[in-house]
Each structure stands twice: as C-alpha cells, then as structure tokens.
C-alpha cells in the first residue's frame, strides 16, 4: 500500500453512481410494489452496500482500512433505469472514492441478483465517481487563485560557515515546489538575532507572501530564532504552531520541545521551523497545503 503516514486526517467525502437498467416496465413496478420474489430489492441492496463500503479494503488490495463514519445510499428511477448514488464520509488521511464506488457496484450487483429471475435483460452501467472533497487538491486551489511568493532563510552558524550542508532549507523548497509555490529568495545566515530581524523586515516590506525560517529553534542558548521572530509579529497565529507540534508528537514524543513560531507581519506569513531535515519536513507536512488558505483570507481583506 502507498505510505500515507505523512498525511494528516481531514474530513473526506465521496459520491459514486451506478445504474441498473431493466428491460421491462413490469420489473420497475415489481421493485416499487415490493413484489420481487427474493424480497425488498431496495432494502436488501442497501444493506449489501453498507457492508461493501465498510469492507472495501478486504476486497481491493491497495485500499487502506479506514473508519467509515457515514454512508448514505439513494435511488432514483428514470423510465427503465434505476440510478444508485452512494455517499461516504470519513475523517482520515486518505479519500473514500473507492469505497463509494465499491458500495455502488455491490448495490447494483445485489439488485441484478434479485431481479434476474424475473428479467433476463438487466445490465449494470455507468459505475463512476461523481464527486470527492477533502483531499489536498481542495486546499491547493488557493495557489491557482493567488501568485504566492516565498522566501526561505536558513539560520545556522555551522551552515553559514560552510562546516555543514543545508538540507532543511532545501527540503522546505522541495515541498513548496510540490505545492506549486515559487521560492523567490533562498539565503543562509548565522543564527544571530539582529541579522534575522533585518532580513524579516526586508522581506516583509518587499511584499513577500510567505517567509519560512529554518534553524535556531532548539533549546541551546545559541538558538535565538524564536526570540528574533516573535517581537516582530503583528498578529501571531498560534494554531499553526499547535498543528506542527501535534503532528510531530504523533510521530515522536520529543516534539513537545518544539519552539516553532508563526504569525503575520502585514500580509506576510512568517513561519520559524526546526533546523533538522526531519523536523522541517514534518513541519511542512503538518500544515501544508491547508495553511495556504490564509492567503485567500488576506486577499478577501484586501478587496474589502
């Protein structure tokens, strides 16, 4: 199965469709009047569909077991066709479109099995996904709506002195690129309060939308990035820090020591992330792409 351990839980929804086509109007009447010999077609098929939604991972090898928290099965009759719609919800790391389509197909197969003794001309058609919501694609739409400019600052004495190679800054840029955000500036500086503040002021005045600092968030007295960033923030956004810490603690208890910082300076979102490669990568996974919704909010304020 695909590795989804880096993903976060979100509310995910999917609606799928299948169609059962019969050959005689009498078959439709038998369904509506509950006169099919094998029983109530709609109720039996609905029950089968509910089982199918919950057991999709038992049938489809690459599907992850996940909590099905809502399933609704609806029917619509148009002439000789019975349209089946299955809606599935979950709060999990991956979507439920396969669960919805699996359930729709099993509902259709159950109807076929119950109706074939009275109608030899039945067909199953148009099994397809109608709608899905809640995955990263939804949150990514804000990038298409706004030209987001980003800058990455690596705060490290050893990397600045070329004693070590920067990995955290590069992984941050890779992840920004994956979310279709262009990085306009990438600099490496010593972990010095005055220099950090100077660059933050420079980039925020230049209209950079997203400023990400990495490094200098440890517990050593030499780690001063949080102390440099916090006094400059006009509007702290502590929820971002909480999301990063919660995400990290699901993976290692050491994340309780995190000193990430987040907030706004004007319309510039400033994030101070850990300097380790793993810490930076996990912090990005924790809040992106959902954090980019902030630019949609800021754009609305501009128009007001």
The rounded percent of the chain whose pLDDT value lies above 90 is 80
Same domain, 100 and 176: no
DSSP 8-state symbol, 233: -
User: Residue 62 sits in a domain of what CATH number?
Assistant: 3.30.70.640
Instruction: Report in angstroms the alpha-carbon separations of 270 from 37, 127, 197, 234, 292.
Output: 67, 46, 12, 11, 12
Pair 81, 166 in one domain: no
At 263, list the tokens.
């907030």
For the CA atoms of 175, 177, 179, 185, the dihedral, rounded to the nearest 10 degrees, stands at 90
Write out pLDDT tens, residues 177-196.
988 898 999 999 999 999 99
Asked if 240 and 153 sit in the same domain, the reply is yes
Q: Which residue has the tokens 């319309």?
A: 267
Domain termination residue (choose one: 134, 160, 178)? 134
What angle, rounded to 10 degrees, do the helices at 277-287 and 238-249 form? 120
Helix (H, G, I), strand (E, B) or coil at 117: coil
Q: Is the pLDDT of residue 136 over 80?
A: no
- CA-CA distance, 50 to 40, in Å (whole number)? 16
155 and 293 housed in the same domain? yes
User: Of the candidates 115, 134, 153, which is a domain's last residue?
Assistant: 134
User: How confident is the model at residue 256, as a pLDDT?
Assistant: 87
Domain that holds residue 287: 139-303
Residue 64 in domain: yes
Residue-wise pLDDT for 75-131, tens only, equals 999 999 999 999 999 999 999 999 999 999 999 999 999 999 999 999 999 999 999
Catalytic residue of the set 3, 24, 40, 113:
113
**Catalytic-residue membership of 3:** no
Total number of domains in the chain: 2
Claim to verify: residue 103 and residue 235 sit in the same structural domain: no
Q: Which residues contact 217 (CB under 8 A, 6 or more apart)?
A: 223, 225, 226, 258, 259, 260, 261, 272, 273, 274, 275
Domain boundary among the residues 81, 111, 134 is at 134
Q: 14 with 110, same domain?
A: yes
Asked if residue 143 has pLDDT above 60, the reply is no
């Amino acid at each position: 199965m695909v590795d989804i351990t880096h993903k976060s839980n979100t509310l995910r929804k999917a609606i799928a469709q299948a169609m059962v086509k019969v050959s005689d109007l009498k078959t439709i009447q038998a369904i509506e009047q509950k006169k099919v010999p094998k029983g109530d077609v709609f109720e039996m098929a609905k029950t089968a569909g509910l089982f199918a939604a919950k057991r999709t991972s038992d049938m489809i090898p690459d599907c992850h077991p996940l909590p099905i928290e809502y399933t609704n099965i609806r029917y619509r009759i148009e002439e000789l066709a019975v349209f089946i719609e299955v809606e599935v919800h979950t709060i999990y790391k991956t979507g439920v479109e396969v669960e919805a389509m699996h359930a729709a197909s099993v509902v259709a197969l159950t109807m076929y099995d119950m109706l074939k003794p009275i109608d030899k001309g039945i067909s199953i058609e148009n099994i397809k996904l109608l709608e899905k919501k809640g995955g990263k694609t939804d949150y990514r739409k804000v990038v298409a709506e706004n030209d987001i400019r980003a800058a990455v600052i690596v705060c490290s004495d050893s990397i600045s002195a070329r004693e070590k190679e920067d990995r955290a800054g590069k992984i941050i840029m890779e992840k920004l690129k994956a979310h279709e955000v262009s990085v306009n500036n990438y600099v490496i500086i010593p972990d010095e309060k005055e220099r950090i503040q100077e660059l933050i002021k420079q980039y925020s005045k230049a209209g950079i939308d997203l400023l990400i600092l990495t490094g200098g968030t440890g517990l050593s007295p030499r780690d001063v990035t949080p102390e440099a960033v916090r006094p400059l923030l006009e509007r702290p956004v502590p929820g971002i820090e909480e999301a990063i810490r919660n995400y990290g603690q699901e993976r290692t208890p050491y994340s309780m020591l995190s000193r990430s910082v987040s907030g706004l300076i004007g319309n510039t979102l400033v994030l101070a992330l850990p300097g380790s490669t793993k810490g930076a990568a996990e912090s990005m996974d924790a809040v992106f792409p959902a954090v980019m919704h902030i630019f949609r909010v800021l754009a609305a304020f501009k128009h007001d």
